[in-house]
Amino acid sequence: MAQEQKAAKIFGGWNRRYKHTSDVLGCDMTFTVFFPPAATESKPAPVLYFLSGLTCTDENVTTKSGIQRKAAEEGIAIIAPDTSPRGLKIEGDSESWDFGEGAGFYLNATQPKWKQYRMLDYIVKELPSVLKQFKQLDLSKASITGHSMGGHGALTIGLKHPDMYQSISAFSPISNPMNVPWGQKAFSGYLGDDKETWKQYDATELVRKYEGPPRNIIITVGTKDDFLDNQLKPDVFAMAAAGTNVSVDLKLQEGYDHSYFFISSFIDDHVAHAARALKSS
């Protein structure tokens, strides 16, 4: 059972932060839910999961993006989980900002040292189970989005579990992690040297073999993003999707960077994308 830690009213709804003990990860975890004003037990709201990026927590999107305004208008709840286990005290888990705490990469680690880093199972299995305590949420209608590492998570989780999510989108996603420094560091640490295992968590590899229902994926990236060419590679993902059941709407936004200034400028597009899919399902 999740326990409320704090709450704030915003755009007529409520931002509520919770803590619970995660059996999957072996530690306490926090997550935030935005309940739109229209959400009630008799008329529960569909949900949009937002997965955050490296160094972030559940609070980055809820305090910096303004996502609640459009979500309130559309009657959609926002689910913002944390990005990794916290407080496990594994040697080396806080030595670098792009591996360990704050950098769970939304995968299930196979290396014994990191066996508790099972963010895929947490997002797909445990968190939805915990959320069932909130009768104002219709968890059968869900979409997924995210930023950077969280964009990688949204793409891979959405493609791996097409039955769970009505739509997928991403801001500045790490789209081909097998072939960029961030992904190579994370995958070698969490998954070892087996490149076939890496492919299970690479969106570009997954989209080539996608066999689920048709999907139109929105990817939004700033042209002045310092990580665009050497870490993100959304164009590689878009090319890999050609000829599959996935269409990619790659939106390059002139002059924008990787920050939440950028995300807040285009967050409404992603909420509206999710709303269209959720309301037609």
Only one residue has tokens 């009505």, namely 166
Token digits of residue 57: 């927590």
Selection from 271, 279, 11 nearest residue 144 by Cα: 271
175 assigned to active site: no
CA angle 204, 191, 81 (to 5 degrees): 75
The span from the CA of 40 to the CA of 196, in Å, is 45
The span from the CA of 124 to the CA of 105, in Å, is 14
Classify 165 as helix, strand or coil. coil
Selection from 55, 51, 8 nearest residue 31 by Cα: 51
Buried b (16+ CB within 10 A) or exposed e, 257-281: bbebebbebbbbbbbebbbebbeee
The one catalytic residue in 65, 143, 225, 273 is 225
User: Residue 165, exposed/middle/buried by CB under 10 A (0-12, 13-18, 19+)?
Assistant: buried
CB-side exposure of 127: number of CA atoms within 13 Å?
A: 28
270 assigned to active site: no
The one catalytic residue in 65, 84, 169, 258 is 258
The one catalytic residue in 52, 65, 84, 148 is 148
Only one residue has tokens 């979500």, namely 71
147 assigned to active site: no
The span from the CA of 171 to the CA of 183, in Å, is 17
Active site residues: 148, 225, 258
